[in-house]
Amino acid sequence: MANRRASGQFPQAWLRESHWMGVGAKAGLSVGLVAGLMGGAIAVHAVPQSDAPAATRTAAAASDDMTRLLLSEPPDLSLAQPGAILPDPEMITANTISQEGLTLPSLWWVRDQFGEQLLETWLVYPAREDSPQRVELVVNPQVWSIYNYMERYTFVNQFGASASTYGYSTRVFDRQGNLLAAYLCDFSGVALGQAEGRRDCDIMLRSDGIAGLTGRPTPAAATPTTPAEIGQR
C-alpha cells in the first residue's frame, strides 16, 4: 500500500521470532507467502495453485494480498477507547454497538459464552478497496497467558466463525497491539451477509508461551470444533 506508514507494520524481527501454528485449508493461501512473512515459523495446510486456471490463480493472488495485509498491518487500538472519534462512520466498536439492536457482526452473545473474562473490546472495520472488512479483538494478556492451546483455539474459533458468517476475518491482539491469533477466510463467491456458502478459513495461533493441552479447565468453554472441520465451512 503506497500510503502505509513505515511505523504501521509489525516489526519484522518480531515476526521472525514469533512461533505460529496454522490450521485450515484456505485455497488462496500459499505456504511461501506466510513463511516469508513469519520467517518460516508457521505451518499451514493449503491447496496447491500451480495447475489452477488463470482466473483461479488471479483470485488466489488477490486473496494472498489480503492475507499479507491482515498479517502485517496492525489496527489503531486507541480507536477502541470510550469517546474516541472514529475516522470512518461505518466503523463500530464495543462502545458503539447496541446490545439490543441487530448490528452485524453481533459479538455480544459469543463474548458472553466464550470470552467474558478474556475479551476486553473490539473494533470492526468495513471493507475498502485496499483492505478487507475485519474484526479486531483485544484480549486481556494475563488471562490469555494462562489459556492452553485448546482454550485459545476455542476462543478464536468461536469468534472467527461468528464473524465469518457475515464476511469478516478476525484478528486477536493484546493491549500493546501484538498479533496473537487470526481467523482468516477467503470469501470468494460468497455473498456477504449470507450464512450459507463455502468459506475457506484458516486459524493461526502464536505457539510461544502456550500452556500444554492439559492446562487448567475452563468451565464456560465448550468443546471446540475439530481442526479438520475448519477448512470447509
Judge contact between 230 and 202, C-beta under 8 A. Answer: yes
**Residue ranges per domain, the chain?**
11-225
What is the predicted pLDDT for the residue at 208? 67
What is the predicted pLDDT for the residue at 87? 84
What is the predicted pLDDT for the residue at 191? 60
Which residue in the block uniquely carries the three cell numbers 490450521? Answer: 23
Q: CA 121, CA 136: separation in Å to the nearest integer?
A: 9
Q: CA 58, CA 65: separation in Å to the nearest integer?
A: 11
Q: Which residues of the chain have pLDDT under 50?
A: 1-17, 25-52, 54-58, 102, 195, 211-233
Segment 8-37, tens digit of pLDDT: 444 444 444 455 565 554 433 433 344 444
Q: Is the pTM of this model over 0.85?
A: no
